[in-house]
Amino acid sequence: MTSLIAFLVAIGILITFHELGHYLVARLCGVKVTRFSFGFGPKLWSKKMGRDQTEWQIAAIPLGGFVQMVDEREGNVAPEDLPRAFNRQSVYKRIAIVSAGPLANFLLAMFFFAFIAVMGQAEIKPVMATPTAGTQAATVDIRALDEIVGIDGSDVEGLQDYTWQLLAKAGQSNVTMQLKRDGQPHEVDLDLSGIALSGEDVDINKQLGINLYYGRPVLFNLVKDRPAYEAGLQDEDRVIAANGLYGITHKELLDLIRNSADRPVYFVIEGKDGGVREVTVTPRVYEVPDANGKMERRAIIGCHIGLAPNLTWISKGPIDGIREGFNRMVSITQMTWNGLTQVASGEAGADAISGPVTIADYAGKTVQMGWRVYLSFLAMISVSLGLFNLLPVPLLDGGHLLYYLLEMIRGRPLPESVMEIGQKVGLFFVLGLTALALTNDFVRLLE
């Protein structure tokens, strides 16, 4: 139910804002609007308002919407309304009206990102863990505890900022990452030309072999008469290093303990009072339940191991927030466009295309993670919606813009017969894409 409500709210906001873009610019251009519809299909509610008695309605199928304008091609127009008919407007006005929908989606995404930036949020500092052996990250001399401070000269303030900037550089062959190592500047060059932004594995860090250090492992719930307790470890002790590995991650520590049965592990510990000490612990083998509740023999030290995230609070002023919102919107647009081109060129599979079921699933998950994550999700979907509508496919806004561009070149509108064929081709494309997206959704549900 949460996913459904979050999905309907998301679709409601994004579609309404898209259609409001068309509506407002149409009114500014002097075009008469007869109906503003949220959704398709049977009418659930409607009310006429305003000087032109525009009918505002909610329809049964909330997967789209439309703004109906006075147009001689769609029926008889009263003589007094002829100057306000859409088809009688200059080609430049028609381009402005059609472009306004996708533009509204881009502006909405920018606003969401700017709002998050101004309100501020706690972010994990972008710090490296030991890179995966044999990968690009390992060969360019990235080391554990290297802090990422910039990419191609642009400052990096937090983990999210790092992610956006890195995604925006996908496809480029020479990207310089600025790091801070033991307080000193250090740079590495990365080749992102082979990065895939769609398909089964779109984790750019994993493709490069970059592992991130999210914070120190922290010990809690120590059990009496087990190695950790006997060695003098305490609740809320934080692990600085183990067996000489500074910047050890949560996973690396678990693996080290499980592979060290009856062999000492040398810890460097920071206590909750800030003091640093060395402790030697020898893991022992016990019968413990696995993830499925089945008993297995495994080396343990007798405590839970959590994570103390390395956080920093980041907030912007209004002007910097708008700039941040714009940059994030541009990054998402570039990333989405790169993904579309990879699907179109065959570099990525068609299974990367998602439909309403997948979107609803993500909507439910993000809303449970907090309003900032949900707004970021809405911003990304808004960009996708705007970019999708700009595709030069008849039936979409981009298809109409293509018609108007050809009209400007020819000096007169395209023949009605050509536009009718285009509408049929566009309908076939949209229905086929919808079927593919729903099929992918269904396959994901089965998996």
Q: How many helices (H) and strands (E) does the chain have?
A: 12, 16
CA-CA-CA-CA torsion for 353, 5, 101, 336, nearest 10 degrees? -30
Query: What is the C-alpha to C-alpha distance for residues 278 and 268, in angstroms, rounded to an integer?
Result: 5
How far apart are the C-alpha atoms of 416 and 27, rounded to whole Å? 26
Which residues, 6+ apart, have CB-to-CB distance to 91 below 8 Å? 404, 407, 408
Catalytic residue among 19, 123, 252, 324: 19
Backbone angles phi, psi at 142, to 5 degrees: -95, 135
Helix (H) or strand (E) holding 104: helix 91-119
3-class DSSP assignment, residue 28: helix
Strand-pair partners of 68:
35
Instruction: Report the C-alpha gap between 360 and 236 in whole angstroms.
Output: 38
In the residue annotation, 19 being an active-site residue is answered as yes
Give the Cα-Cα-Cα angle 234, 240, 243 (nearest 5 degrees).
100
Indicate which residues carry an active-site annotation. Answer: 19
